[in-house]
Amino acid sequence: MKPPLVLVESCAALPIVSMTMALRTGAARDPVGKEGLCRLMGRLMRRTGGGRSTEELDVHVDSLGGSLGVDASHSVSGVHGTVITRSLQQFVEVLGDVAARPGFDPAEHERLKRETLAEIVEARDHDRALARSNFRRRMYPDHAYGRSVVGSQSSIADLSLDDVRAFHRESYVRDNVVFAFSGDIDPDAANTIAEQLLEALPAGAAPDPSVPAPTFSEGRHLVFVDKPERSQTQILIGTAGTRPQDEDHVALFVANTVFGGTFTARLTQEVREKRGWSYGAYSNLPIDKERRALSLWTFPKAEDAAACLGLELDLLERFVDKGITKKELAWAKRYLVRSHAFALDTASKRVGLLLDEVMYDLPDGYYRDYTRHVEAVTLEQVNAAISRRLDPRNLIVAVVGTASQIFDEVRAAIPELADAQIVPYDRND
């Protein structure tokens, strides 16, 4: 049996092997009303592989000199682990038990649901997480990217063991799997292991890995997450960003480096260095299968929130209207080219980039040719990309704070605001 895709980065410097059994699908496949299913399934697999108990699995993995975990994001999911070379075959058997032969013990399922519900409640204590979840919900309405990978209290409570088993049967099929190996292993051994793991999986049709393109709201919208006694706020500002298939994707990524991608970028200089309003001020341009939002993040004191928000909007408008300078472009290129070496300095990092290219449908050679593409970007291309892709007239602003103290000031700091809503921090959705 020929594995569908096996990525290998060999390095015999240490007697350690890392491996990933990745699925081309993730939490975007969670049915509406059953958010959290993909993540809960993976965690239950990890706890019941081969019919063992959680404690038995943990002790066994430790005895092999290994670690084993599961991941789930909107677009991808899977099992990953690291082990010393002499225990590799035994570790592969454990990974196979987790991926293909989970016990799905009912008692462990109920225990995991209770733990997940506790996580959801505990997350209310983390203001940044609150800002992110409400920003995501408003930025991507009626789209998988707007729904929680973890789930909600209502969705987790309703997840049955039959839901988990059915989702596992649909997800863990041969054509849905990509393997990545790094460390003390050669391609022949990696392919042999991949074949062994695939033998345990059914040959059914893989789920559709595509994600619909999100649509973004027009106008400026504010969602204020009301939480009592907040002396500090969390602010996220976002607008439609880029996708890797855009011809100007790299140019916009270079531009974001100048605007808010580093500790010395414009946002940090204006917000932190000159005014001292927020310890950090960054903009983020994430990569996924479909277009994600450019987002600006700050966390000023409550009394500075409105002024900080107003400044960020002014900076974004100036960025779009004026672009960047030749000097800024030269600095950004130099920074990105030099820092890229840190993304390639281990075998696990290198194979991780190759895996990302496959899983996120990135252009062929996206990371291999990354520095060459960065160096080739011109000032005209960068400023054209900024003007074409970013629109400060269409924004989502999410703020976590105490509404009775600063809501009116925050709302007034957003010119041409289309609508504003106040939501409780402990909303159950």
For residues 23 and 98, the answer to whether their CB atoms sit within 8 Å is no
**What is the mean predicted confidence (pLDDT) over 311-325?**
98
1 pLDDT above the threshold of 70: no
Q: What is the pLDDT of residue 204?
A: 83
Distance between CA atoms of residues 42 and 61, nearest Å: 17
């196979």: which residue's tokens?
Answer: 96
364 pLDDT above the threshold of 60: yes
3 pLDDT above the threshold of 80: no
Distance between CA atoms of residues 307 and 315, nearest Å: 12
How do residues 107-116 score in pLDDT, each as one tens digit?
Answer: 999 999 999 9
Asked whether the CA dihedral 125, 131, 132, 134 is positive or negative, the reply is: positive
Distance between CA atoms of residues 122 and 426, nearest Å: 10
SS3 30: coil
How do residues 96-137 score in pLDDT, each as one tens digit?
Answer: 999 999 999 999 999 999 999 999 999 999 999 999 999 999
pTM for the whole structure: 0.93
Q: Which of 50, 58, 99 is nearest to 79 (CA)?
A: 99
**Tokens in use for 197?**
């793991």
Torsion of CA 134, 38, 91, 360, to 10 degrees: -70
Secondary structure E strands in 207-286: 220-226, 234-240, 281-284
SS3 132: helix
Distance between CA atoms of residues 142 and 410, nearest Å: 26
Q: What is the pLDDT of residue 427?
A: 82
For residue 331, the tally of other CB atoms under 10 A from its CB is 17
Q: What angle do CA 51, 54, 58 make, to 5 degrees?
A: 110
